[in-house]
Amino acid sequence: MSESAVQLLMSDAGPEPESREWVLILERAATGDVSAFEQVMLRTERSVMSTARRMLGNVPDAEEATQEVFLRVYKYLHRFDRTKSFEPWLYRLTVNVCNDIATRRPRAAGTVSCETREPVAGTHDPHVSLDIQERRRMIQTALTDLPERQRAVVVLRDLQGLSTSEVAETLKVTEATVRSHLSAARLRMKRFIEKRLRRSS
């Protein structure tokens, strides 16, 4: 599948590059500073929620995952090595929580995220808007159909914008494995979407 098609789902940017101020907030949060922890949540909650929606395919499970992620962040932040980037650690927690929830509560076939119903910014023609939303729904369904590890790679690399090395660090695999999973996932999604388009034509 082409990156341009995947870009249709990229409405939520990840956390901004880490600054000295951000590192200090993390340090304070790790010591139990509630105000600092709230700042961590405010800055990262949207990225965690969007990742969880894409991993799990529905909002209720994603909301449960987001709550669990921040419970774990609060509990384990003091163990985080602050010489490293916070973002891969946070995404690793998110992927692990989503995998736990998916194992406990398998998704129904064809379930898609409610985020695909959001209005498309800058689109005034209702027919164009509907077409884009239909494409987003189709892409989300194709994403949900992927095996767990391939889905995680696509979500982190194509949708959340992490680099190949960051995805490898997040998932604790090699960069070659990330590239292999990404290539296989894009091909599988491309075939899935082409099959759906043939059915609807």
pLDDT per position as a tens digit, 144-170: 889 999 999 999 998 888 899 999 999
| pLDDT for 201 | 63
Query: For residue 61, is pLDDT > 90?
Result: yes
Query: Which pLDDT score is estimated for 198?
Result: 80
Domain boundaries, the chain: 3-111+125-200
- Three-state DSSP at 199 gives helix
Q: Coil, strand or helix: which one is 17?
A: coil
Classify domain 3-111+125-200 by CATH architecture: Orthogonal Bundle (1.10)
Q: Tell me what the mean pLDDT of segment 71-79 comes to.
A: 94
pLDDT for the residue numbered 111: 45
Q: Which amino acid is at 200?
A: S
b/e per residue, 117-138, with b = 16+ CB within 10 A?
A: eeebeeeeeeeeeeebbebbbb
Say what the alpha-carbon torsion angle 120, 42, 160, 109 is, to the nearest 10 degrees.
Answer: -70
Question: Using one digit for the tens of pLDDT, what is the confidence trace for 24-46?
Answer: 999 999 999 999 999 999 999 99
